[in-house]
Amino acid sequence: MDDATNSLYTIDPNTYALTFVGNTGVSGDFGDLAFNTDNNTAYWVPGRGNNSLYTINLSTGAATLVGSHGVNDLFALAYDSATHSLYGDATNGNFYSININTGAATLLGNNGVYPGGLTYRADINQLVLVQAGGNGSFYSIDPATGQATLLGSPGFLNDNGVAWDPELGVYFVDDWNGNLYTVDPNTYQSTVVSGLNGDPFDGIIFPGGGGGGGVPEPASLLLFGTALAGLGSKLRRKK
């Protein structure tokens, strides 16, 4: 694994073409992105080995430190425009609210889910958590308690990020096998739509569109990827 760079890309949700944006300059593994529609800001937790919250410049990929959340293995992040709050989920199932000004985490509850990614659907006011590995289950999350309610299970998804695309009406999931999936919100059936560029990815957002804000033109998804080197790196698991 190449620890020197964590990189931001755009991806066209219709053609799946990737465009490199830039390096964050920050280390960490298995992190997640979130987009705050109230202030049009992208946030990032780098995950394992880095217990801090950052903002991400969507034009350059550069990361700016907000502050420490102090939570080990915070792998899932999403902004809820109904509660105007940033939420995160850790590998021990603990669910937190995250202060966007300081990065401080407040424990709200435990859902027992090993997280891949977290996203918010403004159309139905729902926080959605996707399990890493296993059967890739999708859960609705109560933002007050962190309690998880099963929505559906598309099958195995490696360590992943998830974003809701309000234009196409599907979930996009990127994972450490280097696959990009669409997931049908009615059946939770997954379809591989791209092999991306062969690198593992973890963290994906639809800026402006997933939380009730305006949809950018042209519409694009942003993925956070870690460049890897070495045989078998795609099979590496968080656990």
Q: Any idea what the Cα angle at residue 169 is, between residues 154 and 224, rounded to 5°?
A: 70
DSSP per position, 47-89? EETB-EEEEE-TTT--EEEEEE---TTEEEEEEETTTTEEEEE
Asked if residue 147 belongs to a domain, the reply is yes
- The boundaries of the domain holding residue 91 are 6-235
Asked if residue 1 belongs to a domain, the reply is no
Asked if residue 42 belongs to a domain, the reply is yes
Give the other-Cβ count within 10 Å of 124's Cβ.
10
Quick one: pLDDT at residue 197?
77
Asked if residue 148 belongs to a domain, the reply is yes
Torsion angle, alpha carbons of 228, 163, 179, 151, to 10:
120
* CATH code for the domain of 118: 2.120.10.30
Chain centroid to Cα 36, Å, comes to 13
pTM of the model: 0.88
> d(Cα 156, Cα 190) in Å, to the nearest integer?
9
3-state secondary structure (DSSP) of residue 98:
strand
Reading the block at residue 101, the tokens are: 């000004």
Asked if residue 72 belongs to a domain, the reply is yes
Asked if residue 90 belongs to a domain, the reply is yes
Query: Which among 107, 109, 82, 111 is positioned nearest to 97, based on CA atoms?
Result: 107
Reading the block at residue 57, the tokens are: 């410049």
Domain count, the chain: 1
Asked if residue 30 belongs to a domain, the reply is yes
The single-letter code of the amino acid at 172 is F
Instruction: Please state whether beta strands 41-48 and 29-36 pair in parallel, antiparallel, or not at all (unpaired).
Output: antiparallel
Burial of 216 (0-12, 13-18, 19+ CB in 10 A): middle
Asked if residue 201 belongs to a domain, the reply is yes
> d(Cα 137, Cα 115) in Å, to the nearest integer?
10
Q: What is the pLDDT along the chain (239 residues), one digit of tens a residue?
A: 233 368 999 989 889 998 989 999 999 999 999 999 999 999 999 999 999 999 999 999 999 999 999 999 999 999 999 999 999 999 999 999 999 999 999 999 999 999 999 999 999 999 999 999 889 999 999 999 999 999 999 999 988 999 999 999 999 999 888 889 999 999 999 999 998 877 888 899 998 654 433 344 444 565 544 433 333 334 344 44
Quick one: pLDDT at residue 209?
52
